[in-house]
A and B are shown apart, each in its own frame.
Chain A
Amino acid sequence: MMFNETDSVLLEKIADIKGGEIKGAYNIRKDSGCASRATTENIDIVTKTDKAGIDIIIKPGTKNEVCHIPVIITQTGLTEMVYNDFYIGENADVTIIAGCGIHNCGGEESRHDGLHTFYIGAGARVKYVEKHYGDGDGTGARVMNPQTVAYLSEGAFLQMDTAQIKGIDSTRRDTKIVCGKDAETVVTERLQTHGAQTAESNMEIVLDGDGARGQVISRSVAQDESVQIFYPRMTGNARCFGHVQCDSIIMDSAKISSIPAITANSTEAQLIHEAAIGKIAGDQLLKLQTLGLTEQEAEDRILKGFLA
Protein backbone atom coordinates (compact mmCIF):
# COMPACT_ATOMS: atom_id res chain seq x y z
CA MET A 1 0.00 0.00 0.00
CA MET A 2 1.32 3.41 -0.94
CA PHE A 3 0.83 6.34 1.37
CA ASN A 4 0.67 9.91 0.20
CA GLU A 5 2.38 12.91 1.76
CA THR A 6 -0.49 13.69 4.17
CA ASP A 7 -0.67 10.09 5.37
CA SER A 8 3.07 9.96 5.95
CA VAL A 9 3.03 13.12 8.06
CA LEU A 10 0.20 11.76 10.18
CA LEU A 11 1.83 8.34 10.58
CA GLU A 12 5.11 9.87 11.61
CA LYS A 13 3.45 12.18 14.15
CA ILE A 14 1.36 9.50 15.82
CA ALA A 15 3.43 6.36 15.45
CA ASP A 16 7.00 7.43 14.66
CA ILE A 17 6.63 5.53 11.38
CA LYS A 18 9.11 7.04 8.94
CA GLY A 19 8.69 6.60 5.20
CA GLY A 20 5.96 3.96 5.63
CA GLU A 21 8.54 1.53 7.00
CA ILE A 22 7.23 -0.65 9.86
CA LYS A 23 8.74 -3.64 11.60
CA GLY A 24 6.73 -6.34 13.33
CA ALA A 25 2.96 -6.68 13.46
CA TYR A 26 0.82 -3.76 12.42
CA ASN A 27 -2.59 -2.65 11.27
CA ILE A 28 -3.09 0.72 9.65
CA ARG A 29 -6.63 1.98 9.50
CA LYS A 30 -7.26 4.76 7.01
CA ASP A 31 -10.61 6.48 6.51
CA SER A 32 -12.51 3.60 8.10
CA GLY A 33 -10.85 0.86 6.03
CA CYS A 34 -7.88 -1.40 6.61
CA ALA A 35 -5.07 0.08 4.55
CA SER A 36 -2.37 -2.36 5.47
CA ARG A 37 -1.70 -5.21 7.90
CA ALA A 38 1.03 -7.62 8.91
CA THR A 39 1.05 -10.32 11.56
CA THR A 40 3.88 -12.29 13.12
CA GLU A 41 4.18 -15.78 14.51
CA ASN A 42 3.27 -14.48 17.96
CA ILE A 43 0.94 -11.60 17.21
CA ASP A 44 -2.27 -12.18 15.30
CA ILE A 45 -4.66 -9.45 14.14
CA VAL A 46 -8.22 -10.41 13.20
CA THR A 47 -10.97 -8.16 11.82
CA LYS A 48 -14.12 -8.18 13.93
CA THR A 49 -17.21 -9.47 12.18
CA ASP A 50 -19.93 -7.99 14.39
CA LYS A 51 -18.67 -4.39 14.53
CA ALA A 52 -15.86 -2.13 13.37
CA GLY A 53 -12.47 -2.96 14.83
CA ILE A 54 -9.92 -5.70 15.35
CA ASP A 55 -8.82 -8.31 17.86
CA ILE A 56 -5.11 -8.36 18.66
CA ILE A 57 -4.06 -11.70 20.08
CA ILE A 58 -0.62 -12.03 21.57
CA LYS A 59 0.71 -15.47 22.50
CA PRO A 60 1.90 -16.21 26.03
CA GLY A 61 5.62 -15.64 26.50
CA THR A 62 6.01 -13.33 23.47
CA LYS A 63 9.05 -11.17 24.19
CA ASN A 64 10.19 -7.77 22.92
CA GLU A 65 7.74 -7.45 20.06
CA VAL A 66 6.17 -4.20 18.96
CA CYS A 67 2.70 -3.89 17.45
CA HIS A 68 1.61 -0.70 15.65
CA ILE A 69 -2.09 0.08 15.18
CA PRO A 70 -2.39 3.68 13.95
CA VAL A 71 -5.61 5.23 12.69
CA ILE A 72 -5.65 8.10 10.23
CA ILE A 73 -8.52 10.15 8.91
CA THR A 74 -8.07 12.40 5.92
CA GLN A 75 -11.67 12.81 4.71
CA THR A 76 -13.68 15.70 6.04
CA GLY A 77 -17.03 14.73 7.57
CA LEU A 78 -15.96 11.19 8.39
CA THR A 79 -17.03 9.89 11.79
CA GLU A 80 -16.38 6.42 13.15
CA MET A 81 -16.59 4.28 16.25
CA VAL A 82 -14.02 1.50 16.51
CA TYR A 83 -13.65 -1.38 18.98
CA ASN A 84 -10.22 -2.92 19.43
CA ASP A 85 -9.65 -5.77 21.87
CA PHE A 86 -6.23 -6.88 23.05
CA TYR A 87 -5.63 -10.33 24.47
CA ILE A 88 -2.15 -10.43 25.99
CA GLY A 89 -0.93 -13.91 26.93
CA GLU A 90 0.74 -14.73 30.23
CA ASN A 91 4.31 -13.51 30.74
CA ALA A 92 4.40 -11.70 27.41
CA ASP A 93 6.44 -8.49 27.22
CA VAL A 94 5.27 -6.24 24.38
CA THR A 95 4.88 -2.65 23.24
CA ILE A 96 1.70 -1.50 21.55
CA ILE A 97 1.73 1.79 19.71
CA ALA A 98 -1.67 3.20 18.88
CA GLY A 99 -2.53 6.69 17.81
CA CYS A 100 -4.90 8.72 15.77
CA GLY A 101 -4.15 11.45 13.29
CA ILE A 102 -6.81 13.60 11.68
CA HIS A 103 -6.14 15.82 8.70
CA ASN A 104 -9.22 17.91 8.07
CA CYS A 105 -9.15 20.33 5.18
CA GLY A 106 -12.90 20.61 4.78
CA GLY A 107 -15.77 22.27 6.56
CA GLU A 108 -17.31 19.29 8.30
CA GLU A 109 -16.45 17.62 11.58
CA SER A 110 -14.10 14.61 11.41
CA ARG A 111 -14.36 12.33 14.39
CA HIS A 112 -12.74 9.18 15.69
CA ASP A 113 -14.15 7.42 18.73
CA GLY A 114 -12.40 4.29 19.87
CA LEU A 115 -12.76 1.78 22.65
CA HIS A 116 -9.63 -0.20 23.43
CA THR A 117 -10.01 -3.06 25.87
CA PHE A 118 -7.00 -4.92 27.25
CA TYR A 119 -7.06 -8.31 28.90
CA ILE A 120 -3.57 -8.69 30.29
CA GLY A 121 -2.56 -12.17 31.42
CA ALA A 122 -0.68 -13.01 34.62
CA GLY A 123 2.90 -11.77 34.72
CA ALA A 124 2.64 -9.99 31.35
CA ARG A 125 4.17 -6.57 30.80
CA VAL A 126 2.63 -4.13 28.34
CA LYS A 127 3.74 -0.71 27.29
CA TYR A 128 0.88 1.05 25.57
CA VAL A 129 1.63 4.33 23.78
CA GLU A 130 -1.11 6.51 22.35
CA LYS A 131 -0.58 9.75 20.46
CA HIS A 132 -3.12 12.12 19.07
CA TYR A 133 -2.50 14.68 16.43
CA GLY A 134 -4.55 16.89 14.15
CA ASP A 135 -3.80 19.25 11.30
CA GLY A 136 -5.36 20.68 8.13
CA ASP A 137 -6.60 24.19 7.55
CA GLY A 138 -10.31 23.44 7.09
CA THR A 139 -12.94 24.89 9.41
CA GLY A 140 -14.31 21.43 10.24
CA ALA A 141 -13.64 20.31 13.78
CA ARG A 142 -11.22 17.50 14.62
CA VAL A 143 -12.72 15.41 17.39
CA MET A 144 -11.43 12.35 19.26
CA ASN A 145 -12.99 10.45 22.11
CA PRO A 146 -10.71 7.59 23.11
CA GLN A 147 -11.74 5.08 25.74
CA THR A 148 -9.33 2.63 27.28
CA VAL A 149 -10.25 -0.18 29.61
CA ALA A 150 -7.67 -2.59 31.00
CA TYR A 151 -7.92 -5.61 33.25
CA LEU A 152 -4.64 -6.70 34.79
CA SER A 153 -4.31 -10.26 36.10
CA GLU A 154 -1.98 -11.26 38.92
CA GLY A 155 1.47 -9.68 38.67
CA ALA A 156 0.73 -7.96 35.34
CA PHE A 157 2.15 -4.57 34.49
CA LEU A 158 0.74 -1.86 32.24
CA GLN A 159 2.50 1.33 31.38
CA MET A 160 0.21 3.67 29.48
CA ASP A 161 1.59 6.83 27.89
CA THR A 162 -0.82 9.20 26.24
CA ALA A 163 -0.03 12.48 24.55
CA GLN A 164 -2.18 14.99 22.77
CA ILE A 165 -0.20 17.95 21.62
CA LYS A 166 -2.40 20.60 19.98
CA GLY A 167 -4.48 20.08 16.86
CA ILE A 168 -7.51 18.34 18.38
CA ASP A 169 -10.49 20.64 18.85
CA SER A 170 -12.45 18.53 21.22
CA THR A 171 -11.55 15.45 23.15
CA ARG A 172 -13.06 13.39 25.89
CA ARG A 173 -10.84 10.65 27.22
CA ASP A 174 -12.11 7.85 29.44
CA THR A 175 -9.68 5.48 31.05
CA LYS A 176 -10.42 2.64 33.43
CA ILE A 177 -7.77 0.30 34.73
CA VAL A 178 -8.42 -2.55 37.15
CA CYS A 179 -5.38 -4.04 38.89
CA GLY A 180 -5.55 -7.52 40.38
CA LYS A 181 -3.20 -9.03 42.96
CA ASP A 182 0.34 -7.62 42.72
CA ALA A 183 -0.51 -5.93 39.41
CA GLU A 184 0.86 -2.47 38.70
CA THR A 185 -0.03 0.35 36.36
CA VAL A 186 1.77 3.61 35.57
CA VAL A 187 -0.21 6.10 33.52
CA THR A 188 1.37 9.26 32.12
CA GLU A 189 -0.78 11.79 30.38
CA ARG A 190 0.44 14.81 28.41
CA LEU A 191 -2.04 17.32 27.11
CA GLN A 192 -1.66 20.68 25.43
CA THR A 193 -4.64 22.69 24.27
CA HIS A 194 -4.86 26.05 22.55
CA GLY A 195 -7.36 28.27 20.73
CA ALA A 196 -10.92 27.36 21.67
CA GLN A 197 -10.18 23.66 22.24
CA THR A 198 -11.76 21.65 25.02
CA ALA A 199 -10.39 18.53 26.65
CA GLU A 200 -11.84 16.34 29.32
CA SER A 201 -10.12 13.38 30.93
CA ASN A 202 -11.87 10.89 33.16
CA MET A 203 -9.66 8.36 34.76
CA GLU A 204 -10.52 5.58 37.11
CA ILE A 205 -7.91 3.31 38.61
CA VAL A 206 -9.21 0.44 40.72
CA LEU A 207 -6.67 -1.32 42.91
CA ASP A 208 -8.51 -4.53 43.53
CA GLY A 209 -5.95 -7.04 44.77
CA ASP A 210 -3.39 -7.13 47.58
CA GLY A 211 -0.08 -5.65 46.50
CA ALA A 212 -1.64 -3.68 43.62
CA ARG A 213 0.00 -0.40 42.73
CA GLY A 214 -1.21 2.51 40.63
CA GLN A 215 0.46 5.72 39.60
CA VAL A 216 -0.96 8.54 37.50
CA ILE A 217 1.26 11.37 36.32
CA SER A 218 -0.63 14.01 34.42
CA ARG A 219 0.90 17.16 32.96
CA SER A 220 -0.98 19.68 30.91
CA VAL A 221 -0.68 23.11 29.37
CA ALA A 222 -3.75 25.20 28.52
CA GLN A 223 -3.27 28.25 26.29
CA ASP A 224 -5.53 30.91 24.77
CA GLU A 225 -9.22 30.30 25.63
CA SER A 226 -8.95 26.52 25.86
CA VAL A 227 -10.63 24.56 28.64
CA GLN A 228 -9.40 21.42 30.39
CA ILE A 229 -11.21 19.29 32.96
CA PHE A 230 -9.63 16.38 34.82
CA TYR A 231 -11.42 13.80 36.93
CA PRO A 232 -8.75 11.45 38.24
CA ARG A 233 -10.17 8.81 40.53
CA MET A 234 -8.30 6.13 42.44
CA THR A 235 -10.04 3.43 44.43
CA GLY A 236 -8.24 1.05 46.80
CA ASN A 237 -10.08 -2.15 47.69
CA ALA A 238 -7.19 -4.08 49.22
CA ARG A 239 -3.67 -3.69 50.59
CA CYS A 240 -2.47 -1.38 47.84
CA PHE A 241 -0.64 1.83 47.04
CA GLY A 242 -1.88 4.57 44.72
CA HIS A 243 -0.46 7.95 43.77
CA VAL A 244 -2.08 10.59 41.55
CA GLN A 245 -0.07 13.61 40.52
CA CYS A 246 -1.61 16.33 38.34
CA ASP A 247 0.38 19.35 37.29
CA SER A 248 -0.90 22.05 34.96
CA ILE A 249 0.38 25.26 33.48
CA ILE A 250 -2.33 27.78 32.77
CA MET A 251 -1.80 30.65 30.31
CA ASP A 252 -3.71 33.50 28.66
CA SER A 253 -7.44 33.19 29.38
CA ALA A 254 -7.59 29.40 29.61
CA LYS A 255 -9.48 27.48 32.28
CA ILE A 256 -8.44 24.28 34.05
CA SER A 257 -10.35 22.24 36.62
CA SER A 258 -8.94 19.25 38.42
CA ILE A 259 -11.49 17.30 40.44
CA PRO A 260 -9.75 14.35 42.07
CA ALA A 261 -11.28 11.61 44.16
CA ILE A 262 -9.48 9.00 46.20
CA THR A 263 -11.56 6.28 47.76
CA ALA A 264 -10.33 3.66 50.20
CA ASN A 265 -12.46 0.61 50.89
CA SER A 266 -9.80 -1.10 52.98
CA THR A 267 -7.75 0.05 55.98
CA GLU A 268 -4.67 -1.24 54.14
CA ALA A 269 -5.14 1.05 51.15
CA GLN A 270 -2.67 3.91 50.96
CA LEU A 271 -3.68 6.61 48.48
CA ILE A 272 -2.10 9.97 47.76
CA HIS A 273 -3.26 12.77 45.55
CA GLU A 274 -1.33 15.88 44.56
CA ALA A 275 -2.55 18.56 42.19
CA ALA A 276 -1.18 21.92 41.21
CA ILE A 277 -2.29 24.53 38.68
CA GLY A 278 -0.27 27.66 38.09
CA LYS A 279 1.26 29.91 35.51
CA ILE A 280 4.90 29.59 34.45
CA ALA A 281 7.05 30.73 37.36
CA GLY A 282 8.46 34.20 36.70
CA ASP A 283 11.94 33.31 37.91
CA GLN A 284 12.12 30.40 35.45
CA LEU A 285 11.48 32.79 32.55
CA LEU A 286 13.98 35.29 33.92
CA LYS A 287 16.64 32.62 34.47
CA LEU A 288 16.47 31.42 30.85
CA GLN A 289 16.61 35.01 29.62
CA THR A 290 19.81 35.57 31.58
CA LEU A 291 21.16 32.57 29.65
CA GLY A 292 20.50 34.43 26.39
CA LEU A 293 17.01 33.25 25.35
CA THR A 294 14.29 35.74 24.43
CA GLU A 295 11.16 35.74 26.58
CA GLN A 296 9.27 33.77 23.90
CA GLU A 297 12.08 31.23 23.50
CA ALA A 298 12.24 30.84 27.27
CA GLU A 299 8.49 30.18 27.44
CA ASP A 300 8.64 27.63 24.62
CA ARG A 301 11.58 25.85 26.25
CA ILE A 302 9.82 25.62 29.62
CA LEU A 303 6.64 24.21 28.03
CA LYS A 304 8.64 21.74 25.93
CA GLY A 305 10.41 20.43 29.02
CA PHE A 306 7.22 20.30 31.07
CA LEU A 307 5.44 18.22 28.44
CA ALA A 308 8.43 16.01 27.59
Chain B
Amino acid sequence: MLELKNICYSVGSQDTENSIINDISLTVEDGRLIVLTGPNGGGKTTLAKIIMGLVHPTSGRIVWNGQDVTDLGITERAQLGISYGFQQPPRFKGIRVRDLLSIASGKKLLPKAEACSYLTQVGLCANDYLDREVDASLSGGEVKRIEIATILARNSALLILDEPEAGIDLWSFSKLTETFGQLHEKHDSTMIIISHQERIISLADEIIVISGGKISHRGAKDQVLPNILANTYGCCPVMK
Protein backbone atom coordinates (compact mmCIF):
# COMPACT_ATOMS: atom_id res chain seq x y z
CA MET B 1 0.00 0.00 0.00
CA LEU B 2 1.23 3.47 -0.91
CA GLU B 3 0.24 6.43 1.21
CA LEU B 4 0.96 10.04 0.37
CA LYS B 5 0.36 12.35 3.30
CA ASN B 6 -0.04 16.10 2.70
CA ILE B 7 2.63 16.28 0.01
CA CYS B 8 3.72 19.82 -0.85
CA TYR B 9 6.45 20.88 -3.22
CA SER B 10 7.49 24.37 -4.12
CA VAL B 11 10.47 25.95 -5.82
CA GLY B 12 12.10 29.37 -5.63
CA SER B 13 12.88 31.59 -2.67
CA GLN B 14 10.46 32.88 -0.06
CA ASP B 15 9.17 35.96 -1.87
CA THR B 16 8.93 34.30 -5.30
CA GLU B 17 7.75 30.93 -4.08
CA ASN B 18 6.07 28.83 -6.73
CA SER B 19 3.89 26.03 -5.46
CA ILE B 20 3.93 23.00 -7.76
CA ILE B 21 2.31 20.35 -5.56
CA ASN B 22 -0.17 21.72 -3.10
CA ASP B 23 -1.16 19.37 -0.28
CA ILE B 24 -1.85 16.09 -2.04
CA SER B 25 -2.93 13.13 0.08
CA LEU B 26 -3.64 9.80 -1.53
CA THR B 27 -3.80 6.12 -0.64
CA VAL B 28 -3.29 3.40 -3.24
CA GLU B 29 -4.24 -0.11 -2.16
CA ASP B 30 -2.18 -3.11 -3.32
CA GLY B 31 -2.99 -4.47 -6.74
CA ARG B 32 -4.88 -1.39 -7.89
CA LEU B 33 -4.39 0.40 -11.18
CA ILE B 34 -4.66 4.16 -10.83
CA VAL B 35 -4.49 6.59 -13.71
CA LEU B 36 -3.29 10.13 -13.09
CA THR B 37 -4.46 12.55 -15.71
CA GLY B 38 -4.99 16.28 -16.06
CA PRO B 39 -3.71 19.32 -17.92
CA ASN B 40 -0.07 19.80 -18.95
CA GLY B 41 1.92 21.32 -16.13
CA GLY B 42 -0.59 20.09 -13.55
CA GLY B 43 2.06 18.35 -11.46
CA LYS B 44 1.71 14.66 -12.41
CA THR B 45 5.38 14.03 -13.24
CA THR B 46 6.49 15.95 -10.16
CA LEU B 47 4.29 13.76 -7.98
CA ALA B 48 5.65 10.59 -9.57
CA LYS B 49 9.23 11.80 -9.03
CA ILE B 50 8.43 12.53 -5.39
CA ILE B 51 7.29 8.91 -4.94
CA MET B 52 10.47 7.58 -6.60
CA GLY B 53 12.73 9.94 -4.64
CA LEU B 54 13.91 11.94 -7.65
CA VAL B 55 12.35 15.05 -6.14
CA HIS B 56 12.17 15.80 -2.41
CA PRO B 57 8.90 17.20 -1.15
CA THR B 58 8.98 20.47 0.77
CA SER B 59 6.70 18.85 3.33
CA GLY B 60 4.57 15.74 3.75
CA ARG B 61 5.35 12.03 4.12
CA ILE B 62 5.52 9.06 1.76
CA VAL B 63 4.72 5.68 3.32
CA TRP B 64 5.26 2.45 1.36
CA ASN B 65 3.99 -0.82 2.85
CA GLY B 66 3.91 0.79 6.28
CA GLN B 67 7.49 2.12 6.06
CA ASP B 68 8.14 5.85 5.93
CA VAL B 69 10.41 6.24 2.87
CA THR B 70 10.41 10.06 2.72
CA ASP B 71 14.06 10.29 3.78
CA LEU B 72 15.30 7.30 1.77
CA GLY B 73 17.33 7.71 -1.43
CA ILE B 74 16.37 6.58 -4.92
CA THR B 75 18.38 3.35 -4.79
CA GLU B 76 16.84 2.29 -1.48
CA ARG B 77 13.33 2.94 -2.75
CA ALA B 78 14.11 0.99 -5.92
CA GLN B 79 15.30 -1.91 -3.77
CA LEU B 80 12.04 -1.73 -1.82
CA GLY B 81 10.13 -2.37 -5.03
CA ILE B 82 9.30 1.08 -6.36
CA SER B 83 9.96 1.69 -10.04
CA TYR B 84 9.38 4.65 -12.36
CA GLY B 85 9.40 4.80 -16.15
CA PHE B 86 10.52 8.28 -17.19
CA GLN B 87 8.38 10.55 -19.34
CA GLN B 88 11.56 11.38 -21.25
CA PRO B 89 14.02 8.52 -20.79
CA PRO B 90 17.74 9.35 -21.04
CA ARG B 91 19.96 7.75 -23.67
CA PHE B 92 23.29 6.05 -22.99
CA LYS B 93 26.30 5.77 -25.27
CA GLY B 94 27.67 2.26 -25.12
CA ILE B 95 24.92 0.65 -23.06
CA ARG B 96 22.92 -1.91 -25.00
CA VAL B 97 19.26 -2.77 -24.64
CA ARG B 98 20.15 -6.13 -23.15
CA ASP B 99 22.51 -4.47 -20.63
CA LEU B 100 19.79 -2.10 -19.50
CA LEU B 101 17.27 -4.93 -19.13
CA SER B 102 19.87 -6.92 -17.16
CA ILE B 103 20.54 -4.01 -14.79
CA ALA B 104 16.80 -3.58 -14.32
CA SER B 105 16.28 -7.26 -13.55
CA GLY B 106 19.16 -7.25 -11.05
CA LYS B 107 20.86 -10.11 -12.91
CA LYS B 108 24.37 -10.03 -14.31
CA LEU B 109 23.24 -11.04 -17.75
CA LEU B 110 19.55 -11.58 -18.33
CA PRO B 111 18.88 -14.82 -20.26
CA LYS B 112 18.05 -14.04 -23.87
CA ALA B 113 14.60 -15.61 -23.73
CA GLU B 114 13.63 -13.50 -20.74
CA ALA B 115 14.97 -10.30 -22.29
CA CYS B 116 13.02 -11.09 -25.45
CA SER B 117 9.79 -11.59 -23.57
CA TYR B 118 9.96 -8.08 -22.08
CA LEU B 119 10.59 -6.56 -25.49
CA THR B 120 7.77 -8.53 -27.06
CA GLN B 121 5.40 -7.23 -24.40
CA VAL B 122 6.02 -3.67 -25.59
CA GLY B 123 5.73 -4.65 -29.24
CA LEU B 124 9.44 -4.71 -30.13
CA CYS B 125 11.03 -7.47 -32.14
CA ALA B 126 13.70 -8.69 -29.75
CA ASN B 127 16.22 -9.85 -32.34
CA ASP B 128 16.46 -6.39 -33.85
CA TYR B 129 16.96 -4.60 -30.57
CA LEU B 130 18.80 -6.70 -27.94
CA ASP B 131 22.26 -5.61 -29.11
CA ARG B 132 21.38 -2.05 -30.09
CA GLU B 133 22.85 0.73 -28.02
CA VAL B 134 20.33 2.86 -26.16
CA ASP B 135 21.80 5.96 -27.80
CA ALA B 136 20.66 8.72 -30.11
CA SER B 137 20.28 6.24 -32.97
CA LEU B 138 17.01 4.94 -31.52
CA SER B 139 13.78 6.72 -32.40
CA GLY B 140 11.67 8.42 -29.75
CA GLY B 141 9.04 5.68 -29.73
CA GLU B 142 11.70 2.97 -29.56
CA VAL B 143 13.40 4.54 -26.54
CA LYS B 144 10.06 4.94 -24.86
CA ARG B 145 9.13 1.29 -25.37
CA ILE B 146 12.55 0.10 -24.18
CA GLU B 147 12.00 2.22 -21.06
CA ILE B 148 8.72 0.43 -20.39
CA ALA B 149 10.37 -2.95 -21.01
CA THR B 150 13.01 -2.17 -18.34
CA ILE B 151 10.24 -1.34 -15.89
CA LEU B 152 8.57 -4.68 -16.66
CA ALA B 153 11.96 -6.40 -16.13
CA ARG B 154 12.15 -5.00 -12.61
CA ASN B 155 9.20 -7.12 -11.55
CA SER B 156 8.54 -4.56 -8.86
CA ALA B 157 5.62 -4.21 -6.51
CA LEU B 158 4.88 -0.61 -7.55
CA LEU B 159 5.07 0.46 -11.19
CA ILE B 160 4.79 4.11 -12.04
CA LEU B 161 4.66 4.83 -15.76
CA ASP B 162 4.80 8.38 -17.05
CA GLU B 163 2.84 8.76 -20.29
CA PRO B 164 3.76 5.32 -21.64
CA GLU B 165 1.74 6.06 -24.79
CA ALA B 166 3.78 9.11 -25.82
CA GLY B 167 5.16 8.76 -29.34
CA ILE B 168 4.07 5.15 -29.70
CA ASP B 169 2.42 3.92 -32.90
CA LEU B 170 -1.10 2.46 -32.96
CA TRP B 171 0.00 -1.16 -33.33
CA SER B 172 2.43 -1.07 -30.42
CA PHE B 173 -0.05 0.91 -28.42
CA SER B 174 -2.67 -1.84 -28.52
CA LYS B 175 0.03 -4.36 -27.52
CA LEU B 176 0.94 -2.09 -24.63
CA THR B 177 -2.60 -1.67 -23.31
CA GLU B 178 -3.00 -5.44 -23.56
CA THR B 179 0.20 -5.88 -21.47
CA PHE B 180 -0.99 -3.40 -18.83
CA GLY B 181 -4.39 -5.12 -18.71
CA GLN B 182 -2.77 -8.56 -18.21
CA LEU B 183 -0.41 -7.24 -15.53
CA HIS B 184 -3.33 -5.71 -13.70
CA GLU B 185 -5.35 -8.92 -13.88
CA LYS B 186 -2.56 -10.80 -12.10
CA HIS B 187 -2.83 -8.29 -9.21
CA ASP B 188 0.83 -8.88 -8.30
CA SER B 189 1.71 -5.25 -8.59
CA THR B 190 0.25 -1.86 -7.95
CA MET B 191 0.26 0.40 -10.99
CA ILE B 192 0.15 4.16 -11.28
CA ILE B 193 -0.04 5.25 -14.90
CA ILE B 194 0.13 8.88 -15.94
CA SER B 195 -1.80 9.15 -19.16
CA HIS B 196 -3.93 11.29 -21.43
CA GLN B 197 -5.19 8.30 -23.42
CA GLU B 198 -8.77 7.13 -23.20
CA ARG B 199 -7.81 3.46 -23.80
CA ILE B 200 -5.43 3.53 -20.84
CA ILE B 201 -7.77 5.56 -18.68
CA SER B 202 -10.44 2.93 -19.26
CA LEU B 203 -8.15 0.24 -17.70
CA ALA B 204 -8.12 2.11 -14.38
CA ASP B 205 -9.82 1.17 -11.14
CA GLU B 206 -9.67 4.81 -10.23
CA ILE B 207 -8.94 8.01 -12.10
CA ILE B 208 -7.32 10.97 -10.39
CA VAL B 209 -7.32 14.33 -12.10
CA ILE B 210 -4.42 16.55 -11.06
CA SER B 211 -4.60 20.20 -11.89
CA GLY B 212 -2.72 23.15 -10.45
CA GLY B 213 -0.83 20.86 -8.07
CA LYS B 214 -4.01 19.52 -6.46
CA ILE B 215 -6.36 16.60 -6.88
CA SER B 216 -9.26 18.29 -8.63
CA HIS B 217 -11.42 15.19 -9.21
CA ARG B 218 -11.25 11.52 -8.48
CA GLY B 219 -13.45 8.51 -8.87
CA ALA B 220 -14.21 5.37 -10.82
CA LYS B 221 -13.79 5.54 -14.59
CA ASP B 222 -17.50 5.54 -15.35
CA GLN B 223 -17.86 8.64 -13.17
CA VAL B 224 -14.80 10.61 -14.20
CA LEU B 225 -14.24 9.64 -17.84
CA PRO B 226 -17.56 10.99 -19.21
CA ASN B 227 -16.87 14.31 -17.52
CA ILE B 228 -13.36 14.52 -18.99
CA LEU B 229 -14.71 13.75 -22.45
CA ALA B 230 -17.55 16.25 -22.08
CA ASN B 231 -14.99 18.81 -20.93
CA THR B 232 -17.08 19.72 -17.89
CA TYR B 233 -13.93 20.06 -15.75
CA GLY B 234 -13.02 23.18 -17.69
CA CYS B 235 -9.76 24.19 -19.22
CA CYS B 236 -7.56 27.23 -19.20
CA PRO B 237 -9.55 30.22 -17.91
CA VAL B 238 -7.73 32.61 -20.24
CA MET B 239 -8.42 30.58 -23.35
CA LYS B 240 -12.12 30.23 -22.60
Contacts and interface: CB of A to CB of B under 8 A. Distances in A.
Interface of A: 219, 247, 281, 283-284, 286-295, 301-302, 304-308
B94 A306 contact: yes
Contacts of A307: 94
A292 B99 contact: no
A290 B52 contact: yes
Nearest to B101: A291
Contact of A301 (B74, B103, B154): B103
Nearest to B133: A305
A281 B93 contact: no
B79 A284 contact: no
Given A289-B78, A306-B94, 18 more contacts: A281-B90, A283-B90, A284-B90, A286-B74, A286-B90, A288-B103, A289-B73, A290-B74, A290-B78, A291-B83, A291-B100, A291-B104, A292-B103, A293-B75, A293-B103, A294-B75, A301-B95, A306-B93
A292 B78 contact: yes
A212 B94 CA distance: 28
Interface residues of B, number: 23
A306 B74 CA distance: 23
A91 B154 CA distance: 50
Most buried by A among B90, B99, B154: B90
A30 B194 CA distance: 63
Nearest to B73: A289
Interface string B82-120: 011010011011110001100110100000000000000
Contact of A287 (B73, B90, B154): B90
A219 B94 CA distance: 11
Interface of B: 52, 54, 73-75, 78-79, 83-84, 86, 89-90, 92-95, 99-100, 103-104, 106, 150, 154
Most buried by B among A290, A295, A301, A306: A290
B74 A305 contact: no
Contact of A284 (B74, B75, B92): B92
11 contacts: A281-B90, A287-B86, A287-B90, A289-B74, A290-B74, A290-B83, A291-B154, A292-B103, A295-B75, A302-B92, A305-B95
A306 B133 CA distance: 11
A291 B103 contact: yes
A159 B49 CA distance: 45
A287 B89 contact: yes
Nearest to B100: A291
B78 A305 contact: no
Contacts of A306: 93-94
Contacts of B93: 219, 247, 305-306
A262 B86 CA distance: 40
A291 B150 contact: yes
Nearest to B160: A290
Contacts of A289: 73-75, 78
A292 B75 contact: yes
A301 B94 CA distance: 10
Closest 9 CB pairs of A and B: A305-B94, A305-B95, A289-B74, A283-B90, A292-B78, A308-B94, A291-B104, A284-B90, A306-B94
A190 B240 CA distance: 58
Contact of A286 (B54, B79, B94, B104): B54
Contact of A305 (B79, B84, B90, B99): B99
B104 to A, nearest CB: 5
A306 B99 CA distance: 13
Contacts of B84: 290
Nearest to A303: B94
A300 to B, nearest CB: 12
A63 to B, nearest CB: 27
A249 B93 CA distance: 11
B114 to A, nearest CB: 16
Contacts of B100: 291
A299 B90 CA distance: 14
Contacts of A290: 52, 54, 74, 78, 83-84
Nearest to B134: A305
Most buried by A among B75, B103, B104: B75
Most buried by B among A293, A295, A307: A293
A92 to B, nearest CB: 30
A83 B89 CA distance: 50
B23 to A, nearest CB: 26
Contacts of B104: 291-292
A305 B100 CA distance: 11
Most buried by B among A219, A284, A291, A294: A291
